[in-house]
A = this chain, B = another copy of it.
């Protein structure tokens, strides 16, 4: 067994807090990898709400969901995750949320997540995160602008009140390139 990378560990952490019937958010649908994982976790009685600004990514993910029979419990929205509040009932509580920051691998590398919209979405989601729920960010910083977003997100997380949240940072520190690292915000 090898130490899992940030992407693999994000699923371990979500698997521990998300179960059948839960509502969760995939803030960056992309290739649908997380969406499918979450749809399996919440099952037919649960609800996955997904966001992406790239139609091609959403269409490919929708096809995957239809083929695997997971479509009924998933709603995909072709808009930025900063609008997540428009799609969450005031009283809904979520068990988990995931962000894969940066660009979509294999997609248009000029389309990247941005600090301001990422933080707007994170703040909205934290208002809905239930106790024991986890909001996960997989943070890439090697692309242009990536370090600015990384710093803004880390700074925001460091200031979250420790009475209400604990924030874990998990990542490898001896790699030459900028491997992604993980931030997990857990509501106490």
Interface residues, chain A, with chain B CB atoms under 8 Å away: 1-3, 13, 16-17, 132, 134, 154, 157-162, 165-176, 183-184, 186, 188
Contact = CB atoms under 8 A, between A and B. Distances in A.
Contacts of A159: 174
Contact of A169 (B16, B173, B188): B173
B186 A173 contact: no
B176 A167 contact: no
Contacts of A184: 3
A167 B162 contact: no
A48 B18 CA distance: 38
Contacts of A162: 174-176
A183 B162 CA distance: 22
A176 B159 CA distance: 9
A160 B171 CA distance: 15
Taking the full assembly, how many copies of this chain does it contain?
2
Contact of A174 (B167, B171, B175): B167
Contacts of A167: 172-174
Nearest to A156: B174
A183 B173 CA distance: 9
B173 A170 contact: no
B166 A168 contact: no
A169 B171 contact: yes
Nearest to A164: B174
Contacts of A2: 132, 166, 186, 188
A16 to B, nearest CB: 5
Contacts of A158: 173-174
A168 B170 contact: yes
Contact of A3 (B154, B161, B166, B172): B166
